[in-house]
Structures are given as structure tokens and as C-alpha cells.
Structure 1
Amino acid sequence: MIWIALAALVASTLRFVMLIGELNFATAAFYGIGAYTAGVATTMLEWPFIVSFLAGGVVAALISTVFGFITLRTKGPYFLLIGFAFAEVMRIIYTKMDWLGGNSGLIGIFVPEALDVYLTPFVILVSGSLIGILYLIEVSNVGKIFTAIKDNEGVARSVGIRVHLSKVACFVIASFAVGIAGSLHAYTNNVISPGDFGFLLSTFALAYLKVGGEEHPLGPILGAALLILLNALALDSGLNEHIFYGAAIVAAMLLLPKGVAGLVGRWFTADRCEPGVKVVARRAQ
């Protein structure tokens, strides 16, 4: 359940950045920044748990502010590729820093003993709360500004919206949530290494989003739960994890263009419409 909650949160941040029309492949970088910040704050600086935990999100947000100001002047594939490159650069930096454990990683990242028993509900509560906050922002006036930018930047700018600052704000909010997810990852796993934060993390998040359905806020949750459970079965059968997720993205785009959430929505719509259809049919007779 912990990994489903974290995966759903990361995929939800990917969906959130899509409000401004961008695909954020720097997600893995800020996830790693959050994890390493929490790890260093806990093991080396010996900060209190709550401070170390929140520091992961704050540092990720601060770095994303600079990154966003520079890179969000680009669009589409250019922004995606820059994010991909940044994630790989950060991963390589972790391997070169001996004080971060290099390739071996950072160990001994534990929560207080009093919280250890409640770690699973804590992770689920934090992840669920952040997903809920992202949705509340999406349906607020702020979210409408983000959507207006995606629909037409020129029109948004003409009505007084500060397009670049708004895009950066969206990106920073998502990065804070990703940083918190990274903190939770560190405390859950107790050890982190550079290999945990490669670009594949962003690819997996995209798979959760596409399979679950990017148009519905529950899509990332449904996609994460379904794919993680199916992936566990696939691994038991000897199927390669990367092949599984690649196939899942392709299958979702071909067979479920609106994802599982869209499919479930059609079922509910059909059930609600069916009585009315029957009444019309009787009257026609």
C-alpha cells in the first residue's frame, strides 16, 4: 500500500503539471532531491523528524523555482528533454559524491520509533492529503489560470495573466509534492541510492497516469494500484519490469485512450442512461 500511495502521488504531480500543457520528466530529479535532503537531514544533521521530512519538499521546491524560471520558457519536447537530462545529471551527481554514499547510497534513514508502527497509514495519509490539495488547486481559480495557459498562451497573456510566473508556480507546487514523496520514500526504504532516481521513475509515473486516465483526478490512483499489483504478478512470472510498463503504456493508448477512469465513467454513464433509454423505447412502441 505504501508504494501504491507514493506512485499515485508522483503520477498526480505529473498530471498537475499537464494543466499548463507540459510533460514533466524532471519528476525523478525532484523526487531524488527530496529523498536525499531528508536522508542527509536525518543521518548527518540529525534534525528532528518533522523538520527533515518537510525539508525534502522545501528544498525540491526551491530548486524547482530556479529550474522552472530558466526552462519553462521552452515548450513541449524541449522542456521534456531538458527535464530528462536534469534527472540524469542529478543521478550522476549522487554517484560521484562520496559523502552521499556514492553508488552504495545513503543508509540508516529511520523514522522515530513511535511512528514506525504507524508508518503505512502516515504515508497513505500524507499522500492522499497532497493529492487532494492538488485537486483543490486544479478546480480553483488558480487551476483555471493554468488551464487557460494550456488552451492558449496568447489569449491568456492578453487578458492579463502572467503566463511565465503562473507556469513556474504550477511547477513549484508539483515539485514540492514530489519532494515530499521522495522524503517518504527515504523513510520507508531506510536506504536510498542513485539508481532509485533515474528517468525510469518518470516513465513509470507516466504509465500510471496513462493507464489510469489523465483526464480524471482518480486516474493516477487507479493506474498506480492496477499496474503495481499486475507488475508484482508479472515479476513472479519472470516478465521484465521495463517491458511490462512499456507494454502497459502502449496498450492503454491503443485500447483505453481515456484510461481505466474513463472506462469506469462510461459504465456509470451507461447505467444512469439505461432506464431513460428503456422509457423512450416503450413510448416509441
Structure 2
Amino acid sequence: MRNLHIRWWTVGTALAVAATFLVKGPYAVSVINLIAISALIAASLRFGMLIGEVSFATSSFVGLGAYGAGVATTLLNWPFPLAMLLGPVVVIGISILFGLVTLRVKGPYFMLIGFAFVEVVRITLGKIAVIGGVAGMGGIYPPRILDPWMPTLVMAVVIALLFSLYVIEKSDFGKVLVAIRDNEDIARTVGLRVLSLKIICFAIASFCAGVAGSLHGFVNNVISPGDFGFLVTVFALAFVKVGGESSIFGAILGAVILVVINTFALGLGDAEHYVYGGAIVLAMLLMPQGLVGLPWHKCFKGRRAKPPAHVSKTVTR
């Protein structure tokens, strides 16, 4: 099974990188970038769900990552690699503090705190004049030499982080996180420091969301506080649910399918939301386990060849 997953990763990586070379035109490239960034946001949200919590704060961490890239590029004039990392590093520190305070509560209380945090961050960013206030920031450009390679760079960074999340989930640490999700009290009785492990999980997920935000800033070149409202998390959760939350491949597949549907629905005017929402509702009704929960193995399972007659007779005897 592990070899099969490695083959899927290899094939998927090859196809994704090839797409960045084969797809031409600014609109098609923007769609490829959007799919990659959306998949990373959805995967980061799903990684946090390993401890049994849905974090609406993901939206704010994406936004802080984007604004970190903007500040490092336009105000500090940092080189591109450092500008890419400023937002995610800041996000790690904030997520640890956020986790220390909020991860002591569970379920809807944690979700409501995350929702409130998103609104506080969005309003605060809109009131800081040096970063553009409500109008946002512009001029977040990668080095000119990277312009033709930017889609490939985005895809490479996203795939590297997705694979890292996959490896962590399959490790002993990932199994401990799942054990905490299944029964937190039993995990405590065997000596696990549950709160510390939750914070580590939350920080890893938030770092990936921050990187997604940095990529968003450099790809779109313009950002504003309104780009990072709670709907970012809602869409990411839709990707996870439609694709299937049992595997990271579900987050990736859900992002690909729903972003493509949304791309075609953009030309429908007011009907766009109906098409997008209808696709989500149908997927939830017809595929409770998501796309990865479908019996895909039956599609690739060939019919067994019947043994020759003399062989069957010999076996019978």
C-alpha cells in the first residue's frame, strides 16, 4: 500500500509540474496557481483536523502570510526567499500563542473563537495605514527572473509541503494526533502531553497556511484585508469534505474539482453561486465519504483470467 501511495505521489507530481509548462496564457496560469494554493490551504486545514478541531483561524493565517510577504517585499526590500518566509514564521509564533489560549476548549467553542480571531485580524489590517489600510497593498512582485518560472515554483513549493504533511501524518507523531482525536482522556492517561501536541499540530498546519498566503501575495501582486475573511476557511472545508477528509488526497482532489467548477461558473453571472453550492450539496449527499471514499480500486481491478481446463481438473482431483 505504501508503494502504491508513492507511485501516486510520483505520477501526481509529474503531471502537476508538466501542467505548469504546458498551460499557456495568463488566465490558465492563474487557475493553475489557484488550484495549487487552494489545495495547500485545504490540506493545512485538514491537518489541524487530525486533533478533531476545525480552525476558522486558517483564514487569518493565510492573510498574515500574504501580508508578511507584502511587507518584506515593498517596505523592507528583503530578498525573495526571506520575503517568502517572513509571513509563515510570524504565523508560527502567533499560532502557538493562539493555541495556548484556545486549544483548551473544543468543538463549536473553538470554531467560534477562530471566527472571532479572523474578524479581529481583518479589521486590524484594515486600520493600519502603512500597509494600505482597507485598500490593501500592491507591488508584491517576485524577482523578474522568476516570472516565467513562477507557476512551476508555486507548484513545487505546494507539492513539497503536501508531501511533508503526508509523511508527518503517516509517522508515529501523526498516529498520536489521531489517538488524541479519538480519545483525549485515554491519551492523557498514557502520559501524553495533549495540549503541547495539539499546539505543535496547530503550528504545523498554520505554517502551511502562511506559506499559502505568501504564494497568494506573490502570484496576485495585490492583496487586501477583504481577501482573507472567514469564507477562505469555508471554501477550504468544502474542498476537504467533497474530496474526503480520510486522506490528504481528498483535500487535493476536492480543491482541483471545485476550483475547476468555479472557474466555469464565473461566466454564469448570479447563477455562479448556485452552481458552486449545488455541486457541494450533491457531493455531500451522493458521496458522504467524499471522492476518495468511492471504490476506485474496482476501476483498476482487471478480471482474473480463467485457468486452462487441464489445470482446473488437476486442482479438482
1:30 corresponds to which letter in structure 2?
F
Selected match of 2:202 from 164, 168, 171: 171
How do 1:118-129 residues align onto structure 2 when only pairs under 5 Å count? Answer: 118-129=149-160
Separation in 2, partners of 1:223, 1:114: 33
How do 1:108-257 residues align onto structure 2 when only pairs under 5 Å count? Answer: 108-257=139-288
2:40 aligned with 1:5, yes or no?
Answer: no
With normalisation by structure 1, the TM-score equals 0.93
Instruction: Please identify the structure whose Cα radius of gyration is greater.
Output: 2
Shift of 1:248: 3.5
Separation in 2, partners of 1:273, 1:161: 46
Q: Is the 8 A contact 2:265 2:276 kept in 1?
A: no
1:231 corresponds to which letter in structure 2?
N
2:295 aligned with 1:272, yes or no?
Answer: no
Separation in 2, partners of 1:79, 1:246: 25
Which runs of no fewer than 5 residues in structure 1 stay unpaired?
A: none
Question: What is the DSSP-based 3-state SS (H/G/I as helix, E as strand, rest coil) of the residue aligned with 2:301?
Answer: helix
Separation in 1, partners of 2:273, 2:53: 24
Identity %: 53
Shift of 1:27: 0.5
Separation in 1, partners of 2:173, 2:217: 31
2:92 aligned with 1:61, yes or no?
Answer: yes
Separation in 2, partners of 1:267, 1:173: 31
Paired residues in the alignment total 278
1:193 corresponds to which letter in structure 2?
S
Separation in 1, partners of 2:279, 2:39: 16
With normalisation by structure 2, the TM-score equals 0.84
Give CA-to-partner distance per residue, 1:101-136, whole Å, 9 cap, x none.
111110100101111211000000001110110010
Q: Is the 8 A contact 1:35 1:179 kept in 2?
A: yes
Separation in 1, partners of 2:81, 2:205: 20
Shift of 1:254: 1.3
Q: Is the 8 A contact 1:20 1:150 kept in 2?
A: yes
Separation in 2, partners of 1:22, 1:92: 25
| Alpha-carbon distance change, 144 to 101 in structure 1, aligned in 2, over 3 angstroms | same
| Alpha-carbon distance change, 152 to 103 in structure 1, aligned in 2, over 3 angstroms | same
